[in-house]
């Protein structure tokens, strides 16, 4: 089922005001409702390589797998949708590809990347993420962070050592506890949730969230809710205005029409209570 004309996806990436090259990578496919963002790390352009490998692997794998999926099916063993399984497998392969490339090329040794992947289907979505790149959702004027950072700072916040406000000023806030490509295997967080018409979803790198508070992100999205390209540009402008110390990427998704899967039990159940 094509989601063209039902889900809009627009995004931009920017080198920022300090860095000399961009290690972020973004990609999307409106036909299948897919958005991907990766924020690379590693010397000698290793981060740039890691993010590029990750985004291209995930795009190729999910594009191929969705052609074979009957949307609305659920995996008996895990309880996840077939789409979630496909996303998990794609990110797992991306981890292998980055790790293998790192092992084979001394100049890229130790490279890695964060990643956040969102796939829309059957009036819902799956998000997979590793690291501190985030997914937000704007619904009915309220902004919610959907993902939870895999970072040392988030662990310290969870344990009560820092408040979120104190964490913003810490020198350790960019130390991630999980990343694609660092080890031969990686733990991937997967979530499924309902997608509603006129929601706006934001995938962003920490070049956004380290520079501007959530209230500014929310304002930029609300003021440009009908123009995702302008929303992305405004988020990048604000991030640069507040320092631009890292690469900056913003990828926005907006469902504009319902997209139930044919004969989907989920959508029929959802319609009864919506």
pLDDT digit string, tens, across residues 182-205: 999 999 999 999 999 999 999 999
For residue 208, pLDDT over 80 is answered with: yes
E strands present in 15-65 = 24-29, 34-41
What residues form DSSP beta bridges with 8? 254
Inform me whether the pLDDT recorded for 273 exceeds 50.
no
Separation between Cα atoms, residue 194 and residue 76, nearest integer Å: 20
Residue 201, phi then psi, degrees to nearest 5:
-110, 140
Q: Please tell me the predicted confidence (pLDDT) of residue 156.
A: 73
More confident residue, 27 or 268: 27
Mean pLDDT, to the nearest integer, of 219-235? Answer: 98
Pairing type for strands 200-204 and 134-139 reads antiparallel
Give the C-alpha separation, 184 to 186, whole Å.
7
pLDDT tens track for 138-167: 999 999 999 999 987 777 777 776 676 666
Mean pLDDT for the chain overall: 92
Share of the chain above pLDDT 70, in %: 91
The mean per-residue pLDDT over the stretch 24-42 comes to: 97
Nearest to 56 by CA among 28, 31, 30: 28
Mean pLDDT of 111-122: 98
Residue 74 DSSP class: B
Residue 76 has pLDDT above 50, yes or no: yes
Do 162 and 170 touch, CB atoms closer than 8 A?
yes
């Amino acid at each position: 089922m094509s989601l063209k004309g039902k889900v809009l996806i627009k995004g931009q990436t920017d080198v920022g005001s300090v860095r000399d090259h961009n290690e972020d990578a973004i990609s999307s496919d409106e036909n299948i409702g897919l958005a991907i963002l990766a924020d690379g790390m590693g010397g000698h352009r290793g981060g740039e390589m890691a993010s590029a490998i990750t985004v291209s692997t995930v795009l190729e794998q999910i594009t191929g797998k969705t052609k074979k999926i009957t949307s609305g099916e659920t995996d008996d063993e895990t309880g996840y949708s077939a789409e979630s399984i496909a996303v998990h497998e794609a990110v797992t392969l991306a981890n292998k590809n980055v790790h293998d490339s790192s092992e084979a090329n001394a100049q890229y040794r130790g490279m890695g990347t964060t990643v956040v992947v969102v796939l829309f289907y059957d009036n819902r979505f799956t998000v997979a993420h590793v690291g501190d790149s985030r997914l937000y959702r704007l619904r009915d004027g309220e902004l919610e962070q959907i993902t939870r950072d895999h970072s040392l700072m988030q662990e310290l916040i969870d344990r009560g050592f820092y408040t979120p406000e104190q964490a913003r000023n810490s020198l350790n806030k960019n130390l991630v506890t999980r990343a694609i490509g660092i080890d031969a295997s990686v733990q991937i967080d997967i979530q499924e949730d309902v997608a509603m018409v006129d929601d706006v979803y934001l995938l962003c790198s920490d070049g956004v969230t380290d520079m501007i508070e959530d209230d500014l992100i929310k304002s930029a999205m609300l003021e440009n809710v009908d123009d995702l390209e302008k929303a992305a540009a405004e988020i990048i402008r604000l991030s640069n205005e507040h320092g631009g110390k890292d690469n900056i990427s913003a990828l926005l998704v907006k469902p504009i029409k319902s997209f139930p899967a044919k004969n989907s039990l989920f959508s029929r159940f959802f319609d009864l209570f919506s």
